[in-house]
Amino acid sequence: MSQGKSKKQTRTASEEGLAAFGAEVRQLRKARQMTLAELATSSGVSISHLSAIERGTVSASLNKISRIADALGVPEEWFFNHRPGSGPLERAYVVRQSNRRNLNMLYDEPAEQSGYADQLLSSSIGGGFCMGVSDYRPYSEQVVDQYFSRDGEMHGVILDGELELVLEDETVTLRTGDSFSFPGDILHVLRNVSNQPARMIWVNSPVIIPRFSALGADEQLPQSHKKKNG
Q: Are 161 and 192 in contact (CB under 8 A)?
A: yes
Going by pLDDT thresholds of 50, 70 and 90, the confidence category of residue 13 is low
51, pLDDT greater than 80: yes
Residue 84 domain-assigned? no
**How far is residue 207's CA from residue 186's CA, in Å, rounded to a whole number?**
17
Amino acid 142: pLDDT: 66
Which residues span the domain enclosing 49? 2-79
pLDDT in tens, 171-185: 999 999 999 999 989
**How far is residue 53's CA from residue 55's CA, in Å, rounded to a whole number?**
5
Residue 87 domain-assigned? no
Mean per-residue pLDDT, 176-203: 95
Residue 90 domain-assigned? no
pLDDT in tens, 77-87: 999 887 888 88
Amino acid 135: pLDDT: 97
Per the structure, how many domains does the chain have? 2
Going by pLDDT thresholds of 50, 70 and 90, the confidence category of residue 213 is very low
Residue 55 domain-assigned? yes
Question: Cα–chain-centroid distance for residue 58?
Answer: 26
Amino acid code (one letter) for 141: E
- Write down which residue in 79, 112, 144 finishes a domain: 79
Indicate whether this model's pTM tops 0.85. Answer: no
Mean per-residue pLDDT, 35-52: 96
219, pLDDT greater than 60: no
Verify that 178 and 223 share a domain, yes or no: yes
Mean per-residue pLDDT, 121-149: 86
Question: Apex CA 113: angle with CA 125 and CA 142, to 5°?
Answer: 125
Calculate what percentage of the chain has a pLDDT beyond 90: 59
Verify that 114 and 210 share a domain, yes or no: yes
Amino acid 76: pLDDT: 92
